[in-house]
A and B are shown apart, each in its own frame.
Chain A
Amino acid sequence: MIPGAFEYHRPKTLVDAVTMLASLGEDARPLAGGHSLIPLMKQRLSAPSHLIDLAGIGDLRTISEENGALVLGAMVTQRALLASALVQVKAPLLIEAAQQIADPQIRALGTLGGNVANGDPGNDMPAVMMCLDASYVAQGPKGMRHIKARDFYHGAYDTALAAGEILTAIHVPIVAGQGTAYEKLKRKIGDYAVAAAAVVLTMANGKVATCSIGLTNVAPTPLWAKDAAAMLVGTTLDAGSVKKAVAAAEAITDPASDGRGPPDYRRKMAGIMLTRALARAASRAA
């Protein structure tokens, strides 16, 4: 559990960080909270020669509201997120999800940017961000660009982030009247989900007006269950419709087999979590 040798850098500005990442090349990795990268380094499964710690860049720690969206700096910790009155009011789903990430010690260091950027299918925030239709701001040597969360995840640890790019912020659209819920089944505090489901919906006249569904840790990437959500629009969330939508959501899962259970179990649990999240989200919709 001793990492290989590496050089540690702590730039003070984003520009410096991007320049550094470009000049140090592929052996360099940005470091956020470190809760994914450092365990891998300790096991020597990852051996970057340079770590560029983003902790010194104050601009990445802000939370604000701009043009109808919440803008969350990449270095906002889960703890800071949970403490934000703005987030509590504007995006309660993020609070609910963050509360279920790991434990208080990890939430004190783990960051939102790190959680969404490294492409670990076990992380909770990616599916939540897909569900909320968030977009990520990436800063690279060629400038800045926005990437939709729904387009970001290509495979396990494989994302749309290009070499030399740093994810700097997350934009979450603020929509009034939404009912949201995040249901996570896990073996214990600190564990990744066996399966988890995020739901965002709006209701009109007792029927689902809009619906979005995200699924965590039941495939090599987080999932946005587009078809399942579409099937629910116009329904009253009656048992039959829910059952069909859940089946559609289960059908797009491709869970791994590990200590959390075999694939058939985890697929089914994705469905159970979705069923429960739908009921709770509906009860919260205005």
Chain B
Amino acid sequence: MNDMTPTREAREAKLEGMGCKRKRVEDVRFTQGRGNYVDDIKLPAMLYGDMVRSSYAHARVKRIDTSKAEKVPGVVAVITAETLKTVNLAWMPTLAGDVQMVLADGKVLFQNQEVAFVVATSLQAAADGVELVEVDYEELPVIVDPFKSMAADAPVLREDLAGKTEGAHGKRDHHNHIFKWQVGDKPLTDEAFNRADVKIDELISYHRTHPSPLETCQCVASFDKIKGELTLWGTFQAPHVIRTVVSLISKLPEHKIHVIAPDVGGGFGNKVGAYSGYVCAVVASIVTGRPVKWVEDRMENLSTTSFARDYHMRTEIAATKDGKVTGLRVHILADHGAFDACADPSKWPAGFSNIITGSYDFPVAHLCVDGVYTNKAPGGVAYRCSFRVTEAAYAIERGMDILAQKLGMDPAELRLKNFIKREQFPYQSALGWEYDSGDYHTALNKALVAVDYAGLRAEQKAKREAFKRGETREIMGLGICFFTEIVGAGPSKNCDILGLAMFDSCEIRIHPTGSAIARVGTKSTGQGHETTWAQIIASEIGIAASEIMVEEGNTDTAPYGLGTYGSRSTPVAGAAIAMASRKIKAKAQMIAAWLLEVHEDDLVFDIDRFQVKGVPERYKTMTDIAWVAYHSPPPGMEPGLEAVSYYDPPNMTYPFGAYICVMDIDVDTGVAKTRRFYALDDCGTRINPMIIEGQVHGGLTEAFAISMGQEIRYDEMGNVMGASFMDFFLPTAVETPHWETDHTVTPSPHHPIGAKGVGESPNVGGVPAFSNAVNDAFSFLGSTHIQMPHDAWRLWKVAEKLGVTG
């Protein structure tokens, strides 16, 4: 048999381990319409729920009359806050330590807020019932602008908090104030500003938008009265957390709750939190004894189930006259909407926004964040980013460009001058983080060469002169972004959700014939975990990835995990997978040593086998070992070959990247065309380069959308404008620019396989690159900062103000 042994290269290739561009195994079903999503679930006697929603952004609810709706044929029940009060569920806790109405209790605080839940035997009957629920409102004054939220005479939004001067995160200064969060050294920072040669001070806003996954939020709740058990299928990014939350608020024992996230059609943070629809479906199932499905439509998704950003960042940078930064001072006004339902680790009311010092060696910094209530939808999810990291990256990357402009320096040169140097890692930032590894100079220099940065600047110079001579109506912008992310929440020392430490987990079982199943505490919403997790195991223990089934999302079978968001899957669960693999490998090594009659230390692992050192023809493959583990294990050894690992990361990981955007803007129409977009990502060890590339393409497309027009707008009355795909900018393949991807590899020193996570980098880094390109295009006309989104009409307004429209 040994004569038949394939070459090492062939064995390596068969594994499809880390570094392999393995095709996504889940796509076999997704591309053939064989996925199984929540809305595919149909149970006998299932009922359908539909929401009555508020027409007003702020109003007292005087009366709710459900009698006509209840008479609609097929309507089984209409649930209101009064119903929910009988089970103590009219309000629910939020992830941010606030409480939130499940259904309107006395008043409504944002347009389209959930007011009543109609349950019927068909979707049609439920919708007919919704039409007939009569609600009397008494309108109240509305706050849409967060800057008006804390005015002395501002209307009181949260009457339930009357008299409460302490919130979940300390003192509240005003009836519409949620928290004040400060980090850094204020006196030292102020001193740096007093001494500075050059300062910039700019209000940099990041507008409200929405993750808008392809599949909206939905669930099916099925309560078995006989067993007293609840099964909840849902679009959950964190199924175990949902199970614990359901248990805590429903008082059902946790072992009698089965939470299942089947295939999930995109999450981007939208599916981390718990929404009213879930609670209503659960209550309705308990009340009726029948399964209840709730599926929100697109307008409901965009206007009510969470939002992202809405951060208004006054950004100040101090520097020497030759361009060395000496201090950063930022105040953020954070609009959280009607309830603080921000999805951050519990102790971090403003997420990890203190990554705002970015990639630069700031000796001192101070950050202060004030969270306020307004009459807008609650949420504040991390839309394809680690918690508030994209907002922070936007402020610092825009700020650096503004500083470069003020200094008359090239923005690339300013960045190179202020980067944290390779030898400074692990690096302690002025705002409290320990950056694990980085090589920023190499990455940016590689990017500058790849795009011929000097050539582009020369072309821009010529174009500007031609524009001034009236020979062209186009202006050209070059946008650079060098971002540093903080992902992989996170170490139990500083990260928890409702008290649950943010570890993650993996259980691997090797079957007797040498194939395997791995169950993981994360939940893919499109990231391709079924593909990549198997690749990690393949490389670690030598079983081909194609022989490993990966399962996630069922809380009865998967080990407890905190889910998938904040690019945490690879940094945390990826590490758990490697560690569980290593436990198996250690046992396999003992079995191999016994079989080969040598000491364990005399064995060396080689791709898919243990072989005797120096005698490669004497070996046992993992398949051989698996069979022995179940058939005739060494004397005294437990049979079987499986392992569980729970991984509590020692630190976050810090992926980084250099993005360059080249843009041409027609000043007569304001239409911006992205000529070129180059993205260099360093996410440490690369598990599957093809999936990384796909992730980067997707994230950049979102970044393009957000920066160039995607927005949840409100009018002065708090009416949400354009909460449909007619208005909400979701680019198609036609509008989306071509993406060029590149990479460097700086492994994480503390992660078992050196991987850092990549899914969110392109969203975080893409937005500043686009915005900087737009700003750079207009800078020679005297513009300093243009607020996003940069849709055509807004850019035309900028051009008009600068006096260059036709």
Contact = CB atoms under 8 A, between A and B. Distances in A.
Nearest to A2: B127
A207 interface: no
A187 B711 CA distance: 13
Contacts of A261: 791-793, 796
Interface in B543-580: none
Contacts of A266: 793
Interface string B56-84: 00000000000000000000000000000
B722 A258 contact: yes
B398 to A, nearest CB: 24
A185 B669 contact: yes
B91 to A, nearest CB: 28
B633 to A, nearest CB: 59
Interface in A234-286: 258-262, 265-266, 268-269, 272
B792 A194 contact: yes
B124 interface: yes
Nearest to A246: B806
B191 interface: no
Contacts of A272: 668-669, 806
B671 interface: yes
Contact of A259 (B126, B298, B669, B713): B713
Contact of A187 (B124, B126, B709): B709
Contact of A188 (B128, B722, B732, B805): B732
Interface in A1-54: 1-2, 4-5, 43-44
Contacts of A187: 709, 729, 791-792
B722 A185 contact: no
Contacts of B35: none
A269 B791 CA distance: 14
A268 B796 contact: yes
Contacts of B722: 258-259
A4 B131 contact: yes
A66 interface: no
A184 to B, nearest CB: 12
- Which size bracket describes the interface of B in this complex? 20 to 34
Interface in B109-132: 123-124, 126-128, 131
A191 interface: yes
B793 A188 contact: no
Contacts of A262: 793
A266 B670 CA distance: 11
Interface in A41-73: 43-44
Contacts of A269: 669, 796
Contacts of A189: 732, 734-735
Contacts of A43: 299
Contacts of A103: 732
Interface string B710-730: 000100000001100011011
Interface string A189-201: 1111010000000
B797 interface: yes
A82 B732 CA distance: 22
A184 B805 CA distance: 19
Interface in B783-806: 791-793, 796-797, 805-806
B127 A265 contact: no
Nearest to B721: A259
B797 A265 contact: yes
Q: Which of B131, B722, B734, B792 has the most CB of A within 10 A?
A: B792
Contacts of B806: 272
A5 B131 CA distance: 12
Contact of B297 (A1, A5, A185): A1
B796 A265 contact: yes
A2 B721 CA distance: 21
A188 B729 contact: yes
Contact of A1 (B298, B726, B729): B298
A260 B711 CA distance: 12
Contacts of B671: 185
A44 B732 contact: no
B793 A260 contact: yes
B528 interface: no
Contacts of B19: none
B297 A259 contact: no
Interface in A152-207: 185, 187-192, 194
B123 A2 contact: yes
Contact of A5 (B124, B668, B732, B796): B124
A272 B800 CA distance: 14
Contacts of B734: 188-189
A5 B74 CA distance: 13
Contacts of A185: 669, 671, 792
Contacts of B126: 2
B793 A194 contact: yes
Contact of B731 (A5, A188, A194, A260): A188
Contacts of B50: 2
Contacts of A1: 297-299
Q: Which of B124, B128, B735, B796 has the most CB of A within 10 A?
A: B796
Nearest to B128: A4
Contacts of A192: 726
A47 B722 CA distance: 22
A5 B72 CA distance: 12
Contacts of A265: 670, 793, 796-797
Q: Which of B123, B299, B670 has the most CB of A within 10 A?
A: B670
A192 B726 CA distance: 8
Q: Which of A2, A185, A269, A272 has the most CB of B within 10 A?
A: A2
A189 B670 CA distance: 17
A265 B797 CA distance: 8
A44 B670 CA distance: 36
B735 A188 contact: yes
A5 B734 CA distance: 37
5 contacts: A1-B299, A2-B124, A5-B124, A261-B793, A272-B806
Interface of B: 50, 123-124, 126-128, 131, 297-299, 668-671, 709, 713, 721-722, 726-727, 729-732, 734-735, 791-793, 796-797, 805-806
Interface of A: 1-2, 4-5, 43-44, 103, 185, 187-192, 194, 258-262, 265-266, 268-269, 272
Given A2-B123, A188-B731, 16 more contacts: A1-B299, A2-B127, A4-B128, A43-B299, A187-B709, A187-B729, A187-B792, A192-B726, A259-B713, A259-B722, A260-B793, A261-B791, A261-B793, A268-B796, A268-B805, A272-B669
